[in-house]
Amino acid sequence: MKFDYDLFVIGGGSGGVRAARITASETDACVALAEEDRYGGTCVIRGCVPKKLMVFASEVSHAIPEARCYGWDINEARFDWDIFHGKLDAELDRLENVYRKLLEGSGVTTFDQRARVIGPHTIELSDGQQKTAQNILIAVGGSPVLPHIDGIQHALTSNDMFHFKSLPKSILIVGGGYIACEFAGIMNGLGVKTTQYFRADQILRGFDDEARGIIADEMGKRGIDLQAGMNVTKIEKIPEGVKVTNSKGEELEVAAIMFATGRSPNTKGLIADGVGVEIGTKGQIVVDAYSQTSVPSIYALGDVTDRVNLTPVAIFEAMCFIATVFRGVPTPVDHALIPTAVFTQPEIGTVGLSEELAAARESIEVYSAKFRVMRHSFAGKEDTSLLKLIVSTKTRKILGAHLIAPQAGEMIQLLGIAIKMGATKEDLDCTMAVHPTISEELVTMRTPTRKT
């Protein structure tokens, strides 16, 4: 059978675009891609990129008092949301155009409309056109979900946080994960009175306990009102914003409320009945280690598979897909030891196992250092930083690393390479330190803080 395309990609986010353009530019394949919204997907348009730019903007408010301690005469500082927001929109437009040009330059045929799978090799576009492909790749990502409570229509999600006409004077953020914590830091840093509710007894479930405790303490020091074991039962619209009733029966009036309590794969209406693609209990597309679905010609990657929902993971999965399907080199996706950063304030970088998970598996040594970094100490700031290594007593391999410090994300990226290669504690011990730096502590810690 002759197909219209060798590969048809549904979804123009980071993973889908990478798969389409590399396949088209580096193989002889004929490739098409359909995207119903903006190119760049969640990360570029409504996630990582605009969020990180907002982090940069919000951090300035903490840097100004520090600058005064270094001798800078700064009498007045005022944040102008209109100026920042205009530049943010322009930057996102620029990045979307970059994605479009990358696809065009690679020879990918694009369709700016919704597509759905109606057969093992057939795609139907929203205008009624049907296209065939030898292989179909689904990379449509996920979306925020809202709980079913009274008045939920008055709530925002993370998608809405980049589109304020003017900044609210106060905000309640509901959730304890990294999206909620990052936006709490952003809003607080921009001068918005910020409260955060979360159901658990601590934020950042799944992260190292010691690290998440420090992050919570530091967020509190910066003025964020963290309330554990708390949820929202009702929302009412009022002239000044919303009135919220919490799980203790208390009422709180804020200008805005945002929920960051979960995301769901975008599979609704995506695949016609009878195609045979297995869908999991959370709505995710079930795939094997090669990102192949239960239908051999259909693959899926990124957040729509609900494996590890991070942009670099989707890009990595795309490269494995290309190697497997178009280069004849079967390449399973290795999801172990993924370095990641959470752009809370302060920032956290982590790779590998938490102390709790590692101790449950084997005998370990913990090496850690808590301190005030030189820059903050000189300015009289009390910010706590942490560098922590989890080491196997038996193999001496580093099982996990957890960093809380300025530029922790940059440090964990580089440390992640060594840990992925199987670095031992002794490998770090015989590495010369760069002085004076924060990261030199990673190669100078000699005595275990504790053993389990």
Residue 447's contacts (CB-CB under 8 Å, 6 or more residues apart) are 367
Residues noted as catalytic: 435
pLDDT of the residue at 1? 78
In sequence order, the β-bridge partners of residue 385 are 371
In whole angstroms, give the CA distance from residue 358 to residue 350: 14
In whole angstroms, give the CA distance from residue 309 to residue 43: 11
Structure tokens at 80: 């102008």
pTM: 0.96
Decide: 138 and 11 in contact? Cβ < 8 Å: yes
Is it true that the peptide bond before 436 is cis, omega within 30 degrees of 0?
yes
10 Å Cβ neighbour count for 392?
18
In whole angstroms, give the CA distance from residue 442 to residue 387: 7
pLDDT tens figures, 61-115: 999 999 999 999 998 889 999 999 999 999 999 999 999 999 999 999 999 999 9
Q: How far is CA 4 from the centre of its chain?
A: 35
Structural domains for the chain: 5-143+264-326 (3.50.50.60), 152-261 (3.50.50.60), 340-451 (3.30.390.30)
pLDDT of the residue at 118? 98
pLDDT of the residue at 75? 87
Nearest one of 420, 300, 432, 283 to 352, comparing CA atoms: 420
Q: Are strands 130-138 and 5-10 parallel, antiparallel or unpaired?
A: parallel
Residue identified by tokens 């922590």 is 388
Structure tokens at 425: 């504690």
What's the first-to-final CA gap in the chain, in angstroms? 61
How far are the Cα atoms of 62, 68, 379, 402, 436 from residue 71, in angstroms, in the given order? 15, 5, 10, 33, 21
Helix (H) or strand (E) holding 134: strand 130-138
Decide: 353 and 361 in contact? Cβ < 8 Å: yes
pLDDT of the residue at 76? 85
Structure tokens at 239: 């002239």
Decide: 179 and 309 in contact? Cβ < 8 Å: no
The segments of the chain whose pLDDT lies below 70 read none
Decide: 194 and 252 in contact? Cβ < 8 Å: no
